[in-house]
Amino acid sequence: MYTTSADGSVWFGSPVPEIASVLVAALAGREEIVWGATRLRVRGFSVDVSPPAGDGPVELETATPVVIKYEGRDLLPGDDHYVEGLERNLAHKADVLGLPVPHSLRVLESGPRRRFVVGGAPRIGAQVRIELDADARLVEALQSWGLGWETIQGFGWIR
């Protein structure tokens, strides 16, 4: 649950263009959205599009918490094995796609610890801004796939 002012904003989105286009079409024809018992007036919307990636160092920032686990424990940025776990996750994704493994991963900043319950199980993570040296094709794939674990549940979504 989040509180907001009368002038607050809600973000809907998807890193998959086909899904995002359906959201845009649905919002374009609405003056209000009913969310449970709450009526939200639509005053406008905008579409954020990521610029094409290039090879080499890149910064990525997540819009949702990144879930990383090590030996059954949820890790947060700054914990031992966090960077190692994220590197291993990125290496696995690169391997699945047949792309070079990224190098020089650094966590530049992170948000607060966030806890969600999904399907009855807790998910713990934090939003991050990272820098890594990666192939442009992997960066583009990550923009759809996300960082860390549980990306299918919406975690690790890159802005």
Question: Residue 1: what pLDDT?
Answer: 42
Give the residue extent of every domain in the chain.
1-49, 56-153
CA geometry: angle at 145 spanning 143 and 146, to 5°? 70
Question: Residue 52: what pLDDT?
Answer: 67
Amino acid at 82: Y
Which pTM does this prediction carry? 0.73
Question: Residue 31: what pLDDT?
Answer: 87
Mean pLDDT by 10 residues, the chain (159 residues): 61 72 83 84 75 78 94 94 96 96 95 91 94 93 90 88
Question: Residue 22: what pLDDT?
Answer: 85
d(CA 129, CA 107): 6
What's the residue count for the chain? 159
Question: Residue 143: what pLDDT?
Answer: 87
Question: Residue 131: what pLDDT?
Answer: 96
Q: Cα–Cα distances in Å, from 2 out to 9, 56, 62, 110, 123?
A: 11, 38, 19, 20, 18
> Residue 65 CA to chain centroid, in angstroms?
7
Question: Residue 29: what pLDDT?
Answer: 81
Second CATH level (architecture) for the domain 56-153: 2-Layer Sandwich (3.30)
